[in-house]
Amino acid sequence: MQKLLEIMTKLRDREHGCPWDLEQTLSSLTRYTLEEVYEVVDAVEDGDPESLRDELGDLLFQVVFYAKIAEEDGLFDFQDIVDAISDKLLRRHPHVFPAARLENFGQSQELNADQVVSNWEAIKTEERAGKVDEGIRASALADIPNALPALERALKLQKRAARVGFDWQELAPVLAKVREELEEMEEALNQRDQEQMNHELGDLLFAIVNLARHTRVEPENALRECNRRFARRFNYIEEQLQKDGVSVEDAGLEKLDLLWDAAKQKGL
């Protein structure tokens, strides 16, 4: 770790450092950070440990990069980051570290996974309440990042609202809401109202995320798997048409549908 921190310091050296690294700011790094996160996810889903090792290194370097720029700006340094996350983990795992002290490890209490999640959220609520005393917004939704992918943010917004009682307790009204939003989408389509279609499609997607939450399905994972299935099946169609010397464009929808069904039957 010390070697990596030293490399970062030299990359930002005003006299001998790297021109590109010297140009970066906290804001300019964000796009690269998002790219690195997705590359980590790809490596995990591909089951490629060597690639995962490399991508995690790239992601760690992003943290070091932010820390160095923040240190130069007099905001915080890498040690402050380590201290902050260490303190947070100790504080949020009292069932593992009683009184939030590392030396108390081993005096843990028995909790199941649901109880751990419940305690975690209670502690986070207390932390947010503490921030109110410091003049920071008190909204239950305040610390959900705007920059999250829309699907993930929708899920987090719903979970947070549910914790304060804004939620259905049964699945039936959740399904009814999906049907209602679908009907409103169809109405917007019939009216050819582009602005309303945009609005209603957003409501429909939000309702579907809510359905996923109530059925304990992770919507992001479900959609990613759906994307992979689509790609596998479409690749199969392309391969079969190539064997026949036919392009996808010339095959016709009926032929494409038959090949799609064949791909499904093969379990693709």
Rg of the chain, C-alpha, whole Å: 25
Phi, psi (degrees; rounded to nearest 5) at 161: -65, -35
- pLDDT in the model for residue 108: 66
Neighbours of 93 (CB within 10 A): 17
- pLDDT in the model for residue 128: 61
- pLDDT in the model for residue 25: 95
Domain boundaries, the chain: 1-76, 150-217, 221-265
- Name which CATH class applies to 1-76: mainly alpha
- pLDDT in the model for residue 182: 96
Residue bearing tokens 């081993």: 106
Neighbours of 66 (CB within 10 A): 19
**Closest-CA residue to 128 (of 163, 98, 102):** 163
Sequence-ordered list of residues with C-beta below 8 angstroms from that of 68, at least 6 positions apart, any chain: 5, 8, 9, 12, 78
Enumerate residue ranges in the chain where pLDDT < 70.
108, 111-138
- pLDDT in the model for residue 142: 76
CA–CA separation, 23 and 128 (whole Å): 35
Which two three-digit tokens encode residue 249?
């464009």
Q: How far is CA 188 from CA 180, 191, 192, 209, in A?
A: 13, 5, 6, 21
Helix or strand holding residue 48 (H, E): none
Is domain 150-217 given the CATH code 2.60.40.2250 in the classification?
Answer: no
- pLDDT in the model for residue 107: 80
The model's pLDDT over 100-132, given as tens digits with 9 standing for 90+, comes to 888 888 886 776 666 666 666 666 666 666 655
